[in-house]
Structure 1
């Protein structure tokens, strides 16, 4: 254990990134649970990742605008396909979501098979690079967060099935490039599941998970994404228990 990893210049931008992700993912996660399409975030995140891999294969810069456009187009296209499937055959929607996740993951692996840095790219896609977040790098995520919250609460796109899918695709595409597929899934599902859909309680679980995960990562030199995911799960287990104990008292 060392205190050298607890550098505010690294941890604070990462924490703000986590808070921005939670601000949109908690209400979206609650809707995902209500709809019963738990793995939609994994599928769309992986589809967006496939768009990034395709752009990289074509020679575009990972952080370039053409790569971002590729990721957004891929995610929006599949979101529209899922909405069509929901209307035509909702019974098999969850199965289609699962198959699309596996297919996108395998397609990405095949495209990266000739890349000597494929392992590193795949790890970044899954686990993310939240500790590499900079204040300037947070601006696109902050912009997407503001637009999503405006659409969700202000314009009430959450009441529109199509609006839900479009907001979901754009938000997940922005988030997965900062925190990775695993943290996107955990941020969507774990707080909402632990808090029974209550936004304030879900926010408490999410913030506690990110804070503890980042501290553990800094203290023990652990991968930040994996540490935060496990911290979220631990907080989700403890949080309802503490609530029941308090109510019983």
Structure 2
């Protein structure tokens, strides 16, 4: 087998991880844009990462059930808090989401300040280590993605506020440890931005094509150029999204 073929086999688990993430994040991203709470994904992802850091401070297996549970509990608590703030102060919900994000990010920095490997661990949670994902790590995210896709298919836009936040929290919890905070945000928002003027089923189809193309090209380029996979995927998603938006339908002109 050629070295190129061997490299492609290496990135296959990472590509499958990307497909699992896109399966839930594309429809969730469309709802995020529709609801006008764009930065909720950053906030919830950062809170889930904070849960991982808190659990990791107890010398637990980073891929074990305890850490997964800690990330999930942290994300759900964040979702419940945001549900309450949206009821209490809906006019400043986006600002509250931003404050929650910066508080979680700052808490993460404080918790790893005296850990000799804390900076490396924090970077892994932010930028991700998608290239080193293995097949065993995909089992639970695959089951979770199947449940979330089923819920979204049944309820769609009819999910109540609390239900949406909880589903969102569970989806982000499953993905943040696979791909990192940056890719979580890019996977949710970038494809949906690219297709926002597309109509009907074409919108969903082109969003998935944008996401799949971004992950595939980013992973291949990371092997060829020996550059960080997560960062390259973010850029490939953004560049492909620009092309999809440019060749797509234009918004209707606003009346004078």
**TM-score normalised to the size of structure 1?**
0.93
The residue matched to 1:61 in structure 2 has which SS? coil
Query: Where does residue 231 of structure 1 map in the other structure?
Result: 236
Aligned to 1:37: 37
Matching of residue 206 in structure 1 with residue 211 in structure 2 = yes
Q: Which residue of structure 1 aligns with residue 64 of structure 2?
A: 64
RMSD: 1.7
Residue aligning to 1:16: 16
Taking the aligned partners of 1:126 and 1:15, their CA distance within structure 2 comes to 18
Q: CA deviation at 1:157?
A: 7.5
CA contact (8 A) 1:194 1:239 kept: yes
Distance, in Å, in 2 between the alignment partners of 1:75 and 1:157 is 21
Aligned length: 243
Matched with 1:217 is 222
Which secondary structure state, in structure 2, belongs to the residue aligned with residue 63 of structure 1? coil
- Residue deviations 1:15-60, cap 9 Å, x none? 1111111110010000000111110000000000000111111232
Q: 1:90 to 1:20 in 2, by over 3 A?
A: same
Contact 1:6 1:219 in 2 (8 A): no
Structural mapping, 1:35-114, within 5 Å: 35-114=35-114
Given the superposition, is the C-alpha separation of residues 77 and 5 from structure 1 closer, same or farther in structure 2, using an over 3 Å criterion?
farther
Structure 1 CA distance for aligned equivalents of residues 98 and 117 of structure 2: 27
| Gap change, CA 1:82 and 1:13, over 3 Å in 2 | same
Selected match of 1:241 from 227, 238, 246: 246
* CA deviations over 1:161-209 (Å, ceiling 9, x no partner): 1111010000001100000000000000000010117211111111111
CA contact (8 A) 1:5 1:219 kept: no
| Contact residue 195 and residue 248 of structure 2 kept, 8 A | no
**Secondary structure at 1:137's aligned position in 2?**
helix
Answer with 98-107 or 155-164: which moved more: 155-164
Residues 159-168 or 27-36, more deviating = 159-168
Consecutive unaligned residues in structure 1, runs of 5 or more: none
SS of aligned partner of 2:125:
helix
State the match for 2:253 in structure 1: none
Give 1:130-149 correspondences, 5 Å limit: 130-149=130-149
Structure-2-length-normalised TM-score: 0.91
Q: Secondary structure at the match of 2:69?
A: helix
Structure 2 Cα separation of the partners of residues 20 and 229 of structure 1: 16
